[in-house]
């Protein structure tokens, strides 16, 4: 039953992608900040309702993540990145930190680095649920900016796996 619901949801989502999905050629950077919200965080959160993976986090890392969020909202991206780097010194494999860094790099228009950090986050993470969706959505979006529609499309196909697989590592 759940599989059907998820599949239906995915179908809806994919069709939405097809109709309203951004065309890579006529993009003009950058209201990337809002895009990180509308094209990565929100949909990932919606898609993954029910497949939540929330690993335990070091309180120090939690504090730094909160500071990074505050800086990000204030538009201080470099400061946010500094906070995340501090977090990564403590927990270099924390997938949330890595993904947040990917999202900051995206806003800083460092597309290749956004892809790198999202890849690393995926490798280190549960490879399922919301974070997984954010990983692939970041890679898709960054590839669109890099004018590589093929890679972007390939990234989007992985979104299915995020919803299908059960969390294994935590």
Q: Are 167 and 126 in contact (CB under 8 A)?
A: yes
Nearer to another protein, 9 or 158 (CB): 158
Task: Point out which span in 3-11, 13-21, 44-52, 87-95 binds another protein (CB under 8 A).
Answer: 87-95
For another protein, which residue of 41, 43, 72, 120 counts as binding (CB under 8 A)?
A: 120
Q: Which positions from 2 to 41 touch another protein by CB under 8 A, shown as an x/- string?
A: ----------------------------------------
| Smallest separation, CB 102 to another protein (Å) | 11
Q: Which of 86, 71, 170, 74 is nearest to 129 (CA)?
A: 170
Nearer to another protein, 6 or 86 (CB): 86
State the Cα–Cα distance between residues 137 and 106, nearest whole angstrom.
11
| Smallest separation, CB 36 to another protein (Å) | 18
State the Cα–Cα distance between residues 92 and 109, nearest whole angstrom.
23
| Smallest separation, CB 93 to another protein (Å) | 7
Q: What is the DSSP letter of 21?
A: P
Q: Which of 98, 102, 122 is nearest to 112 (CA)?
A: 102
């Amino acid at each position: 039953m759940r599989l059907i619901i998820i599949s239906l949801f995915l179908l809806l989502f994919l069709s939405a992608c097809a109709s309203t999905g951004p065309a890579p050629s006529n993009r003009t950077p950058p209201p990337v900040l809002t895009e990180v919200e509308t094209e990565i965080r929100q949909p990932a959160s919606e898609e993954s309702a029910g497949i939540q993976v929330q690993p335990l986090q070091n309180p120090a890392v939690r504090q730094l993540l909160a500071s990074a969020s505050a800086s990000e909202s204030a538009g201080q991206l470099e400061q946010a990145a500094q906070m995340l780097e501090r977090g990564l010194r403590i927990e270099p494999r924390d997938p949330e930190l890595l993904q947040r860094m990917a999202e900051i790099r995206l806003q800083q228009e460092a597309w290749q680095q956004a892809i790198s950090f999202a890849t690393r986050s995926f490798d280190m993470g549960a490879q399922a649920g919301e974070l997984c969706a954010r990983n692939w959505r970041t890679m898709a979006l960054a590839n669109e900016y890099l004018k590589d529609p093929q890679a972007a499309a390939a990234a989007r196909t992985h979104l299915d796996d995020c919803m299908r697989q059960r969390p294994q590592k935590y």
